[in-house]
Structure 1
Amino acid sequence: MKAIALLALSILLSTTYAETLHAVTETTLYSYLKEGQVAGPATELLKLNLQRAGLTDYSIHLYPWARSYEMALNRANILIYPIVRTPSREKQFKWVGELIKTQYHFYKLKVHKEIIVNNLSDAKRYTIGVIRNDVRQDYLHQQKFTRLTISAQREDNFKQLINKQVDIIPLLDKDAEALCQQLAFDCTKLERIYTLNGISNGLYIALSKSTPDPLVEKIRSAFEQLKAEGLVKKTIEKNQ
């Protein structure tokens, strides 16, 4: 009976790992298109992770965040990165490992002296730009914010701010710098006005809930090896 059980497990594992893994992401500092390929430090680390796990049958796709998120919520064998880990998302995904710590801040145009945010409730007076299905939209919705203007991608969200279509947007510091450069906007015209401690958590690699546990554990174990060797930190931070 033991031999039969081991044979069944072997067949299960070989079948599981034969299934194609689909990695999905959005345009960020850590994942982006370069010469027609998905690149960036998080993508480089992901490839190292999957290689260490012995996985070769996978694809990597860059989509608007809402599409990537929907796929990861509803399909098996979907890997999503980078994604903020929050209490509300905890049971929706199978978490692999943390890429880097994050801290979000509200930004405004410096010219708007009248916009003052000393606490989270103050911000409810203003129109805030967010990205569809992003952690910032989810968090502000949970905090009973009603004046949210939703964009599909971070570039569109940033344009809403610099075109004065919204009053405030939540950003990472490095995202603000990158978007200013990308859109040829003078970053000295921005002002950071409030830190969103409620969602300043780490960026992670995660797998869809219906992804088989043996596959999850194989990827998670490989990630822990890379982390122990210092390769997670080295790979993510080398281009910062």
Structure 2
Amino acid sequence: MSSQINYSISKTKLAALQSGLFSIGIVLALMSAPQAMSAPVRVVLEESPPHQVVKDGQISGLSTAVVDAVLKRAGETASYEVYPWARAYRIALTTPNVLIYNIARTPEREAQFEWIGKVANYKFGFLKLTRRSDIQVRQLSDLRQYAVGAQRDDFMAEWLRDVAKLPAEHLQLQPDVVETWRLLVNGKIDLMSDDPHAIDDILKKYQLQRSDIEFVLFPPELEVPTWLALKKGSSPDLVRRLRQAYRQVEGSAVHRKVMELSYEPKPL
């Protein structure tokens, strides 16, 4: 009787030991591959061809290729979310660990974000429809007499208000650049800003030729890089790994393609 009881206790101890070892094994496995089990990093953006292209539910584009490369180097996967610019900006501004691109690095935003790296170069100019011969812009002050479209919460809206001194009633704010273009094409606004290297896709969308639009002014201060960034106060480990990954991607072919504007506008 005594040996049978001892035998039963030994079996119980063995089962407990095996269960404990199994649990330890799971913990060690999780510790050895934390990134594989982590959730995808949220990445918010607006549609803005050719840097951020949305087609058939897929996200691509010149800047997206850089972001993909950085996340891969950092051992992360992405969950891309496309919104009008103002909403994407607000999400990134208020939610830790959410990436945003392409965002201009302005003095007002400097302390609000962790700046990972540059993912595009822009040379913004103001454009009109060629047929609008009534619109004459030769200097910055000429903008003030026209209805100018910009995106809500975009740095261009800030620049038009604070630098160009555009009257509030002439500043027409839209949710995203696609809508701003729609208003221009339909004659609802007189002028808007964009980069001549970055308009081929949007011209196709609205069945325009390059000859249908005319750039009338290129303020030198609007030649700016745009960045990949996330909210100040995000995970220090995530920020560190993203910056390290960006340094590895910087200067690569995919990075040079967008930063050097080495792509040529395609014939329409």
Counterpart of 1:224, as a letter, is R
Q: TM-score, normalised by structure 2?
A: 0.77
1:51 aligns with 2:75: no
Counterpart in 2 of 1:120? Answer: 140
Q: TM-score, normalised by structure 1?
A: 0.85
Counterpart in 1 of 2:12? Answer: none
Counterpart of 2:58, as a letter, is Q
TM-superposed CA distance for 1:230, in Å, is: 4.4
What residue ranges of structure 1 are gaps of 5+ in the alignment? 1-10
1:65 aligns with 2:82: no
Once the two structures are superposed, the pairs formed by residues 175-190 of structure 1 within 5 Å of their partners are: 175-190=198-213
Question: Does the Cα contact within 8 Å between 1:32 and 1:62 map onto a contact in 2?
Answer: no
Where 2:256 maps in the other structure, the secondary structure is helix
What residue ranges of structure 2 are gaps of 5+ in the alignment? 1-30
Counterpart of 2:112, as a letter, is Q
Where 2:122 maps in the other structure, the secondary structure is coil
Counterpart of 1:141, as a letter, is R
After alignment, is 188-197 or 175-184 more displaced?
Answer: 175-184
TM-superposed CA distance for 1:80, in Å, is: 0.3
Q: What is the alpha-carbon distance in structure 2 between the residues aligned to residue 30 and residue 41 of structure 1?
A: 4
Higher relative contact order (CA 8 A, sep 6+): 1
Once the two structures are superposed, the pairs formed by residues 1-240 of structure 1 within 5 Å of their partners are: 18=38, 20-28=40-48, 29-56=50-77, 58-143=78-163, 144-145=165-166, 146=168, 147-234=170-257
Cα RMSD, aligned residues only: 2.3
Rg comparison, structure with higher value? 2
Q: What is the alpha-carbon distance in structure 2 between the residues aligned to residue 238 and residue 166 of structure 1?
A: 31
Question: Does the Cα contact within 8 Å between 1:86 and 1:199 map onto a contact in 2?
Answer: no
Identity of counterpart residues, as a percentage?
Answer: 28
Q: Do the aligned partners of residues 217 and 90 (structure 1) sit closer, same or farther apart at CA in structure 2, a change above 3 Å counting?
A: same
TM-superposed CA distance for 1:101, in Å, is: 1.7
